[in-house]
Structure 1
């Protein structure tokens, strides 16, 4: 299934006058405040959020999974689904693969298919947190940190294999997330486990192409609840520094203990030039993997405040982070959830872009906490959605992507094509 340009045009025609009134009013207001609206709209149009291949099917919990219908049964159908998203919002122009869930049988054909949807390949992800039927050794007690060399070497070889697949597809980064850790006190020697992890990562790093990056993800708990080898940003940062200039920390919004100041972590990593990637989701209690911005929109905005501060710093040595959604859609249609998440990310980005930084820095330097709060909260309370809609309009996307998704009955058509019992691979 493809969404054609004429369908976008017909949809936009119905909304155009209403959109113009809202956009012109907001643009005039912002321009009076000295904000260059065209620059912001261009930045919004340029921001692309990678969609992970595993997020296109219904998620689940350890208690069960209630599968949807018409889910993508192959890598080709996953690319088709992302193509639908990208046609609607023109902001989902990349796919992030998880190996071995999505090993391409014919890389040339897969690249050609992705190109037909104007999609590129973002970071590739390794998987040593599950056992596969063909592997010789189990990861039950760890992978890169395992006490047995044979298990560690198997995990190292898998990551090197993932890099090779990524090279064939045009990816430029490898993401490593480990579930390695322990469930009980004294089960594992902390120092030895971390050292073994570093040694394994160094083997992988030695095989990294010169124009690639490696992103090291962290998580405080789950599935191991007593300890995790790479449990926080400091450990990830330590490992990235020891590996070298191609290694970076990856921040997943759900991978923090309650009330962690994530925006401060972001600021610190960008100051050190070590923030490589970002996984967006939202949570109430832990790694809930909920729709971005559905629980803590103000925190998301504060995080983007630091991201924009870092990205627009002329002296920054931090690369532009790799943006990706990492969510689990347990009760929502996955495609609708992803459309909502991309919208929430761009809203927070736009809000951060309209902050008057000169005024904010002055308030901060004068220790004027009241003024600083007024400045950031004024931006947060501004309805910036007309800016996003204008960016979509200029990119030939839908003014209201979710509304068009439903009017076209996309899910119904996918069910007709794939069947009610079609279940996404890899989950």
Structure 2
């Protein structure tokens, strides 16, 4: 798979004149409104979102999975794919590994390869929701299991994940539990939560002092009667009990329909309890659809809370982890990830356009109409020229998907890796 800087520059030359026209118009409008375009461009350029190792292959459902060909067969090939995304979009500089799907066989070689692609290692993710050859089954839970030997096995796995992450320079452990029940009476709610907390204490104590624990929550699936950590409040409760380095991870898909996620984000920020995000989108449930494909306004409102909370000093922007978590199903994963990276940055850029001084004034004066007008003005602004300019200044592609297709990258991957390859993991 060859895509050089010269290829990108040649492709940009086809679009640059039209881009400069649109960008100049938008920049003039923003500057006339008292907004510093250069400051916004600087923030857009520096905002990087990690790509998960499991998102580089075709997704699937409980009923089927349809391959696309050319999927990465190893961790090395996954890093190569993320390097391509980084080169095109200039919006990602890290991979979030899932263990045991992506345990390096040669740590030094993996780190060297990642360095060549300007890729670092974000939070590492443990897996106690599948049976993959371990001695004890997780059929009836892991960290919450009634059998202490199963809990010990799950704790030991998380400790192993920490060891893998340490070798790669990661600074965080993401824990998501599938633990729960499908039928009333199957388990004791209190016992399951107590067992989980006891297990998490052991994991937390094993983390290096400069690490953080990112604790996810999910209301249902694969257990449909109860989950041990069903909501942000339960995750928040456990994190408070564990210590300052344990914080709540918000997966946008891990909510019941119509949940006010932006309010959750605002509350967690206010308590300095937001660990980070798994970005995706949903229509009915935990769909893991392309970020911004269903609810772009909600994504904008979430970033509005993030910008406001960090600017007000509730929590630093640098303390928050940013990761994608998607299941592509019928899309080319690389194209889908490019769409997601753009959608995330669009929401972020729009949130930077909000006049927070006026918004606060209208809120305090109870002027509901003008408060809404402030938000609508920012949301309805087409900020894509800002993103393109940020990519252009960073050496990326003005039109990433177009150049990806022009150079038939997927066809090259199939020729190199095969038609029937399958990425490790789900």
- Give the distance between the partners of 1:92 and 1:403, measured in 2 at CA: 18
The corresponding residue for 1:176 is: 175
> What TM-score comes out, normalization by structure 2 length?
0.99
Look up the SS of the partner of 2:25 in the other structure: helix
- Give the distance between the partners of 1:330 and 1:350, measured in 2 at CA: 28
Check conservation: 2:125, 2:174, Cα contact below 8 A: yes
The corresponding residue for 1:112 is: 112
The corresponding residue for 1:157 is: 156
- Give the distance between the partners of 1:318 and 1:10, measured in 2 at CA: 35
- Give the distance between the partners of 2:401 and 2:312, measured in 1 at CA: 34
The corresponding residue for 1:360 is: 359
Structure 1 portions without partners, runs of 5+: none
The corresponding residue for 2:52 is: 52
Structure 2 counterparts to residues 187-266 of structure 1, below 5 A: 187-266=186-265
RMSD of the alignment, in Å? 0.9
- Give the distance between the partners of 1:330 and 1:238, measured in 2 at CA: 35
Quick check: 1:326 aligned with 2:325? yes
After superposition, the C-alpha distances for 1:117-162 in whole angstroms (9 at most, x for unaligned) are 00000000000000111x1100000000000000000000000000
Q: CA 1:261–1:398 in structure 2 vs 1: closer, same or farther (change >3 Å)?
A: same
Quick check: 1:299 aligned with 2:298? yes
Structure 2 counterparts to residues 23-422 of structure 1, below 5 A: 23-133=23-133, 135-314=134-313, 316=315, 320-422=319-421
After superposition, the C-alpha distances for 1:224-272 in whole angstroms (9 at most, x for unaligned) are 0000000000000001111101100000000000110000000000000
- Give the distance between the partners of 1:203 and 1:74, measured in 2 at CA: 31
Check conservation: 1:79, 1:95, Cα contact below 8 A: yes
- Give the distance between the partners of 1:183 and 1:319, measured in 2 at CA: 39
- Give the distance between the partners of 1:11 and 1:409, measured in 2 at CA: 14
- Give the distance between the partners of 1:18 and 1:351, measured in 2 at CA: 22
Check conservation: 2:310, 2:316, Cα contact below 8 A: no
Bigger Cα displacement from structure 2, 380-389 vs 417-426: 417-426
The corresponding residue for 2:6 is: 6
- Give the distance between the partners of 1:54 and 1:364, measured in 2 at CA: 42
Alignment: residue pair count: 426
Shift of 1:316: 3.6
Look up the SS of the partner of 2:424 in the other structure: coil
Check conservation: 2:271, 2:314, Cα contact below 8 A: no
Check conservation: 1:347, 1:388, Cα contact below 8 A: yes
- Give the distance between the partners of 2:207 and 2:327, measured in 1 at CA: 30
